Structure 1
Amino acid sequence: MHILAVEPYYGGSHRSFLDNVVQRSRHDWTLVTGPARHWKWRMRSSSLALAEQATERLRSRAENGAPEIDLVFCTDMLDVPQWLGLMQCSPLIAPNPTKASPNSLLATNTPVVTYFHENQWTYPTAPRAREDFHYGYTNLLTALASNAIWFNSRFHQDTFWDASQNFLRRMPDSVPAHRIDAAIKRSLVVPPGFNGASELADARPNRSAGTDSPLVIGWVSRWEPDKRPDQFARILESLHQQGVPFELILLGARPQKPPPELEVIRERYREQIRHDGFAGDDYHERLAEMDVVVSTADHEFFGIAVCEAIWAGAIPVVPNRLSYPELVPSTSQYDSRNEAVQLITKIARQDSKTRDNRWRQCRDQIADFRTSHLVPIMDDLLDNVLVPNQ
């Protein structure tokens, strides 16, 4: 198939996901993308710029004799109804068309698949920010306008539709027009996949273990409020008070102004930090140094970085909620901060063989989430959108 991918926020996990799919897919992809900044403006205003960009790309394809586009693949950052309307709006997109009008470049019945990395119904608002239902409703209209709706986890799928239905109950008008039951039937769970260094897939690197060896604790999440770095700092403080020796590898994207918790961790455990910051080409090597990867997130729709750390050799210690129960065994989940401390302390005192067996159980549970395994499945699902029940 010939697929037009439209990604308003081409950066971070959105970019990694799309690049991995395009690289491994058997289909032919044409990309239309926007910069990864100012996410609210991406959702609010990118439709016009991306419609212009798509028109130019499609016109270039047509002039070079390339086949017509069979399917549009976009993500939740796009206002799909708005973008589709603009693609058919000649005065805005091509006021002086040369050889072909926009109407002939993208057929009005071209199917649309939307991939939901996140959604604005349940994405935590920033501290002191006022909730704006416009963005969640934009996500809902995008889903209703899509032929297929893909969510990256069961948790995400369930919470999105629950929140959408709750919002519709509050609407004073036009509720029957939102054919949400039909949209739910068009939705399914398609994990985004993760890349793991192949040389780390079969054998966990040998590491010393036991009470005398520092446990290497890793952090791979964004240093943002929804990932709760304050809870991570409290866990480290409890481990320190209990005399558990540890070292730290601190990865994850940081805002321009680092959170106070990161500054506290840097100051308090300065001599125990192995790495702090962007890893670059040695990212997987840094992951391979971790004995444990910790998440304290209040919000997680999938958990690509945690999967990457597990595949590299880390034992996960994660909350028993959100998307994590779909990824890791119950033995790696905790209910409270105290339980997290107990779990990490137990791992610190285990011998290498016990740790290795525990890690292998976690690795095996995420094996089918590797990108190399998932992309052929995605290709088949895309085929089925174009030709249902083939």
Structure 2
Amino acid sequence: MSILLIEAFYGGSHKQLADLLQEEIEECVLYTLPAKKWHWRARTAALYFMQTVPANANYRILFASSVLNLTELIALRPDLGKLKKVLYFHENQLAYPVQKCQERDFQYGYNQILSCLVADIVVFNSAFNMESFLTSIGKFLKLIPDHRPKDLEKIIRPKCQVLHFPIRFPDVSREHDKDPESFFKVLLKLKEMDLPFHMSVLGETFTDVPDIFSEAKKALESSVLHWGYLPSKDDYFQALCMADVVISTAKHEFFGVAMIEAVYCGCYPLCPNALVYPEIFPAEYLYSTPEQLLKRLQNFCKRPDIVRKHLYKGEMDQFSWAALRGKFRSLLSTEPREDL
């Protein structure tokens, strides 16, 4: 049990990574909290793990996602402070969109900055995620009315690196924050034009579901193949293999596991020319406006052979666990610090 994995929000891509590391890397032990009430996890998870993680002299490395307030945990559990502490950012709160700056809860971003200062290595799943966080630190700290800390970006940056989220691709053969309003508006326009298409809306449903989902499900009912969460990973990948196009209308995205999985299964991606997408996908798969997206989909509805015969021009293997295994093993193999 030399590697201690802590995941304060055990769901989605957070769960996917934690499970993968536990299964593929020897001597890992995992402690988690369910993926519910994110804000409360960020506020209180450290206190929970202080009580539930037993002391163990064999621990060498602590790996946690940035939902955890690492600073609080280390203060509450000095024994864990001696470990090599790796903090992994699936997303960051400094670049997370809010309607008005005044509405941003200062505490969440502040906690992530503190956690970076305590961590030995800070890992981001994309360059976009890393740079959007680091370059926002100075502006974010200006929200403090006086006696502001200085040069924190310079302190944190040397600890930082990009290590893409590793995806265990399937063996397949082929025959608010994600902006569902924009997605469904485009599909409803296709429906009004009487263009033929079928759609699947896949994914977990959490506590608050925008009204547009129920409205769109009813309006697009005749075109729906799948709607909602598919508990079986095999069924999920089978649904992706049946599709021709995968669409993102995200207003924030720091990596995009689902989009990459869909492309691996043979889908033609259409993504905003923003956020992390230009880092992941070649330019021909990006659109700048909803009108451009609608025009591309109109063309595909009329000429489905365009996408069915298309060979993806990007590189997917670089995101596979097979390609990234060695880097993660190296990340989780350093001895503990002796100077504490």
| Distance in 2 of aligned mates of 1:33 and 1:343 | 42
| Distance in 2 of aligned mates of 1:283 and 1:29 | 28
Q: Does 2:141 align with 1:168?
A: yes
| Distance in 2 of aligned mates of 1:7 and 1:349 | 46
| Distance in 2 of aligned mates of 1:126 and 1:53 | 37
Report if aligned partners of 1:196, 1:370 keep a CA contact under 8 Å in 2.
yes
Q: Does 2:111 align with 1:138?
A: yes
2:64 alignment partner AA: C
Extract unaligned runs of 5+ from structure 2.
Answer: none
**CA-CA distance at 1:229 after TM superposition:** 0.7
**CA-CA distance at 1:69 after TM superposition:** 1.3
Q: Does 2:202 align with 1:251?
A: yes
Among 130, 152, 168, the residue aligned to 1:195? 168
Report the TM-score when normalising by structure 2.
0.91
Q: Report which of the two structures shows the higher radius of gyration computed on alpha carbons.
A: 1
The aligned residue for residue 331 of structure 1 is 284
The aligned residue for residue 22 of structure 2 is 22
Report if aligned partners of 2:244, 2:308 keep a CA contact under 8 Å in 1.
no
Secondary structure of 2:199's match? strand
Q: Does 2:100 align with 1:150?
A: no
**CA-CA distance at 1:139 after TM superposition:** 0.6
How many residue pairs get aligned? The number is: 334
Aligned-residue identity in percent = 28
Deviations 1:277-314 (A, max 9, x none): 12122111111111101111101111001111111111
Structure 1 runs of 4+ with >6 Å offset:
126-129
Among 256, 263, 268, the residue aligned to 2:219? 268
**CA-CA distance at 1:129 after TM superposition:** 9.4
| Distance in 2 of aligned mates of 1:110 and 1:386 | 5
The aligned residue for residue 270 of structure 2 is 317
Q: 1:109 to 1:300 in 2, by over 3 A?
A: same
Secondary structure of 1:266's match? helix
Deviations 1:164-198 (A, max 9, x none): 1212345421513x643131011011111223221
Secondary structure of 1:227's match? coil
**CA-CA distance at 1:257 after TM superposition:** 5.1
| Distance in 1 of aligned mates of 2:215 and 2:102 | 25
Q: Does 2:320 align with 1:375?
A: no
**CA-CA distance at 1:7 after TM superposition:** 1.2
| Distance in 2 of aligned mates of 1:279 and 1:30 | 28
Q: 1:71 to 1:256 in 2, by over 3 A?
A: closer
2:40 alignment partner AA: W
Report if aligned partners of 2:60, 2:335 keep a CA contact under 8 Å in 1.
no
Secondary structure of 1:361's match? coil
**CA-CA distance at 1:244 after TM superposition:** 2.3
| Distance in 1 of aligned mates of 2:71 and 2:292 | 46
Q: Does 2:85 align with 1:86?
A: no
Report if aligned partners of 1:247, 1:272 keep a CA contact under 8 Å in 2.
yes
| Distance in 2 of aligned mates of 1:126 and 1:275 | 32
Extract unaligned runs of 5+ from structure 1.
Answer: 63-67, 89-102, 207-224
Among 56, 59, 72, the residue aligned to 1:69? 59
The aligned residue for residue 312 of structure 2 is 360
The range that moved more, 368-377 or 290-299, is 368-377
| Distance in 1 of aligned mates of 2:259 and 2:61 | 32
| Distance in 2 of aligned mates of 1:165 and 1:133 | 13
2:258 alignment partner AA: A
Q: 1:174 to 1:193 in 2, by over 3 A?
A: same
Secondary structure of 1:226's match? coil
Report 1:1-20 matches (<5 A).
2-20=2-20
**CA-CA distance at 1:349 after TM superposition:** 4.0
**CA-CA distance at 1:21 after TM superposition:** 2.0
Q: 1:131 to 1:351 in 2, by over 3 A?
A: closer
| Distance in 2 of aligned mates of 1:385 and 1:274 | 51
Report if aligned partners of 2:18, 2:30 keep a CA contact under 8 Å in 1.
no
The aligned residue for residue 211 of structure 1 is none
Report if aligned partners of 1:317, 1:344 keep a CA contact under 8 Å in 2.
no
Report if aligned partners of 2:244, 2:266 keep a CA contact under 8 Å in 1.
yes
**CA-CA distance at 1:53 after TM superposition:** 1.4
| Distance in 1 of aligned mates of 2:99 and 2:240 | 29
Report if aligned partners of 1:251, 1:279 keep a CA contact under 8 Å in 2.
yes
